[in-house]
């Protein structure tokens, strides 16, 4: 039975779009009910942005996993392992190890010194307006890149999972995804968004766990036998090549090193990840939430290793590459092979839920940054009342939602997967140096922070614009006709991260203004003791 035919014919017996859509609608309805219930207590800014700081560590750990495990890491990594073998696994490891940066260096200290956004931490001892503006700029840039990549991915998933190939149909689905997301974030605020992420994480991880056990059971719980079958069906030359590194990144190893740097250093500073640390009552709960997230995310990537090689063994990498959606179809095809249309429907619905939860997390982060940092502290100079700020945040949600729908429709069919890697590179180049310097280096100054953030962001974006992902070949965004790709790598991290650190240092040592050492002392004392940290809202 040829799986390819099944997926490419929407009316075919096995892939049942009506079933897929029904399961997804059930998810939307259940989560909407929960979001409306959760919204009853949304009154203050702390309620809206930080869910009243009322989530427990384990709950937040699930929400972090739900926020972080995007469709790219589920469908993308299973597919990358199925088609490119070991290099897909190599790629997935950076996404896990990165959480140690969050655990050891960022989560607790951020929780103790900030309120809602990354800029709060920097503004503690540096000059309010310039650092808030810079931090909001990098936050909005990362959210925008990530959001656009997610929305573009949604269109591709539609043709793969629901069998809608027409451009109009795909645009309609992108619009529906955007509209549901706006409702979640507008009504539910951070509390509603968090519950959506928790539910999605439970569904995703249990679905993937069931498939993993199923694959292993077929091979008598012998992982080596799975690998053996994957080699037997491999179309690479030699077939064993899928068990060793080199198939995907072999041609340009330095590019992979650059990507690995951005992944491991950028994850903990993604703005939607940082904001999750404020939804718990104390630094200790922030630590517990990262611990839960590390276990959940780690186990998830172990499952994807089995699923990737399982898809190569049971479906075949040639079938996967030829299917609509290419590598992204590996997990859905494996689900169909194992459990028929019902399991495929479940996995498809989970993939959609994944996109919804991730875009919701990004949108509330961007809205909080705009309303809290730019509107309230830069435009109104800290004199706006909290109600007005939340009102601005809600309007920003609508604006971002509509913009991401239009953007998502606009980039249909374009190859913009590089935007995800760019988001990590910007987070590592612009956010990591400033966060580490302001937490650990007392001489860090406003000028250093501003230089580092704009410099890291600018370097990463300019290098990407001059790279082979934008121009100069057939797979580039602009095609082969235009060629201004003078930077050879697809990942700017190896240059832009050192630039960010260097500018932060240079700006600080050349700064004519010395920051107040008393405030630096206060920040250090608070960051380690948790004294004066934002408390949970009593309900």
Partner 1 sequence: MEQNTTHAVDYPGVQQSEKFTRLRRRHRSFVVPVSIAFLAWYFLYVLLGAYAHDLMAQPVLGNINVGVVLGLGQFVTTFAITMAYVSYANRRLDPLAAELRDDLEQIEAQAAADSTAGSARTTTGTTGTAAGSAGAAGTETAEGRESQ
Write out the binding residues for partner 1, residues 19-48 only, by CB under 8 A: 40-41, 43-47
Whether the CB-CB separation of 84 and 309 falls below 8 Å is answered with no
Over the window 491 to 530, marking each residue x when it contacts partner 1 by CB under 8 A and - when it does not, the resulting string is --------------------------xxx-xx-xx--xxx
- Distance of closest approach, residue 19 Cβ to partner 1, in angstroms: 35
428: its two tokens? 């590592």
Among 10, 58, 216, 223, binds partner 1 (CB under 8 A): 223
Among residue numbers 244 through 263, which ones bind partner 1 (CB under 8 A)?
A: 244-246, 249-250, 253-254, 256-257, 260
Among 123, 305, 281, residue whose Cα is nearest residue 208:
305
Among 386, 415, 498, 502, binds partner 1 (CB under 8 A): 386
Whether the CB-CB separation of 330 and 306 falls below 8 Å is answered with no
Among 182, 264, 274, 350, binds partner 1 (CB under 8 A): 264
User: Under the criterion CB under 8 A, does residue 209 sit at the interface with partner 1?
Assistant: no
Decide whether 382 or 413 has the Cβ nearer to partner 1: 382
Decide whether 119 or 140 has the Cβ nearer to partner 1: 119
Among 41, 412, 81, residue whose Cα is nearest residue 226:
81
User: Under the criterion CB under 8 A, does residue 381 sit at the interface with partner 1?
Assistant: no
Neighbours of 494 (CB within 10 A): 18
Decide whether 253 or 479 has the Cβ nearer to partner 1: 253
| 424 contacts: CB under 8 Å, gap ≥ 6 | 262, 263, 266, 267, 270, 493
Among residue numbers 353 through 372, which ones bind partner 1 (CB under 8 A)?
A: none
Whether the CB-CB separation of 64 and 289 falls below 8 Å is answered with yes
Over the window 295 to 314, marking each residue x when it contacts partner 1 by CB under 8 A and - when it does not, the resulting string is x--x--xx--x---------
Among 49, 86, 184, 303, binds partner 1 (CB under 8 A): 86
Q: To the nearest 10°, the Cα dihedral for 407, 410, 415, 419? A: -10
Among 503, 505, 498, residue whose Cα is nearest residue 258:
498
Q: 246: which DSSP letter?
A: T
User: Under the criterion CB under 8 A, does residue 531 sit at the interface with partner 1?
Assistant: yes
Among residue numbers 90 through 149, which ones bind partner 1 (CB under 8 A)?
A: 90, 93-94, 96-97, 99-101, 103-105, 115, 123-125, 128
- Distance of closest approach, residue 172 Cβ to partner 1, in angstroms: 37
Buried residues in 415-444 as b, exposed as e (16+ CB within 10 A): ebbbbbbbbbbbbbbbbbbbbbbbbeeeeb
- Distance of closest approach, residue 269 Cβ to partner 1, in angstroms: 15
Residues in binding contact with partner 1, number by CB under 8 A: 78
- Distance of closest approach, residue 54 Cβ to partner 1, in angstroms: 10
Contact region for partner 1 (CB under 8 A) — 13-21, 180-188, 222-230, 471-479? 222-230
Decide whether 88 or 456 has the Cβ nearer to partner 1: 88
Contact region for partner 1 (CB under 8 A) — 196-204, 207-215, 236-244, 337-345? 236-244
Whether the CB-CB separation of 86 and 256 falls below 8 Å is answered with no
Phi and psi at residue 454, in whole multiples of 5°? -70, -40
Decide whether 202 or 291 has the Cβ nearer to partner 1: 291
Whether the CB-CB separation of 202 and 44 falls below 8 Å is answered with no
Q: How far apart are CA 482 and CA 498, in angstroms?
A: 30
């Amino acid at each position: 039975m040829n799986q390819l035919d099944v997926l490419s014919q929407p009316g075919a017996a096995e892939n049942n779009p009506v079933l897929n859509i029904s399961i997804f609608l059930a998810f939307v309805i259940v989560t909407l009910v929960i979001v409306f219930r959760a919204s009853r207590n949304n009154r203050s800014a702390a309620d809206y942005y930080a869910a009243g700081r009322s989530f427990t560590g384990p709950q937040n750990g699930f929400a972090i996993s739900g926020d972080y495990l995007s469709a790219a890491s589920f469908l993308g990594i299973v597919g990358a392992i199925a088609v490119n073998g070991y290099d897909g696994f190599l790629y997935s490891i950076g996404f896990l190890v990165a959480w140690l940066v969050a655990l050891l260096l960022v989560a607790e200290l951020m929780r103790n010194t900030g309120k809602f956004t990354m800029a709060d931490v920097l503004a503690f001892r540096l000059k309010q307006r310039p650092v808030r503006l810079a931090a909001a700029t990098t936050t909005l840039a990362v959210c925008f890149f990530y959001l656009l990549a997610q929305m573009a991915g949604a269109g591709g998933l539609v043709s793969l999972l629901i069998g809608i190939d027409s451009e109009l149909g795909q645009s309609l689905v992108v619009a529906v995804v955007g509209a549901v997301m706006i409702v979640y974030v507008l009504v539910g605020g951070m509390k509603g968004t968090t519950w959506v992420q928790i539910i999605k994480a439970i569904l995703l991880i249990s679905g993937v766990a069931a498939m993993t056990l199923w694959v292993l059971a077929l091979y008598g719980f012998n992982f080596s036998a799975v690998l053996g079958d994957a080699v037997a069906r491999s179309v690479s030359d030699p077939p064993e090549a899928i068990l060793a590194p080199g198939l995907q990144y072999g041609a340009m190893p330095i590019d992979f090193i650059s990507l690995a740097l951005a992944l491991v250093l950028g994850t903990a500073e993604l703005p939607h990840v940082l904001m999750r640390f404020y939804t718990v009552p104390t630094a200790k709960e922030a630590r517990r939430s990262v611990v839960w997230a590390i276990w959940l995310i780690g186990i998830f990537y172990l499952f994807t290793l089995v699923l990737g090689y399982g898809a190569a063994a049971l479906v075949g990498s040639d079938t996967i590459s030829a299917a609509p959606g290419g590598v992204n179809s590996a997990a859905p095809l494996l689900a169909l092979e194992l459990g028929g249309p019902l399991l495929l429907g479940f996995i498809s619905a989970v993939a959609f839920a994944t996109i919804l939860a991730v875009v919701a997390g990004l949108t509330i982060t961007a809205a909080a940054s705009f309303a809290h940092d730019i509107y309230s502290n830069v435009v109104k100079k800290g004199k706006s009342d909290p109600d007005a700020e939340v009102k601005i945040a809600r309007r920003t949600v609508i604006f971002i939602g509509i913009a991401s729908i239009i953007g998502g429709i606009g980039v249909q069919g374009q190859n913009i997967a590089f935007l995800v890697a760019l988001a990590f590179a910007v987070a590592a180049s612009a956010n990591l140096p400033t966060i580490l310097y302001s937490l650990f280096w007392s001489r860090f100054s406003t000028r250093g922070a501003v230089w580092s953030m704009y410099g890291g962001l600018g370097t990463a974006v300019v290098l990407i614009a001059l790279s082979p992902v934008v121009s100069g070949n057939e797979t580039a965004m602009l095609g082969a006709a235009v060629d201004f790709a003078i930077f050879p790598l697809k990942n700017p991290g190896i240059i832009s991260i050192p630039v960010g650190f260097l500018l932060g240092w240079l700006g600080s040592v050349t700064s004519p203004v010395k920051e107040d050492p008393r405030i630096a002392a206060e920040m250090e004392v608070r960051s380690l003791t948790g004294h004066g940290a934002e408390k949970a809202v009593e309900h």
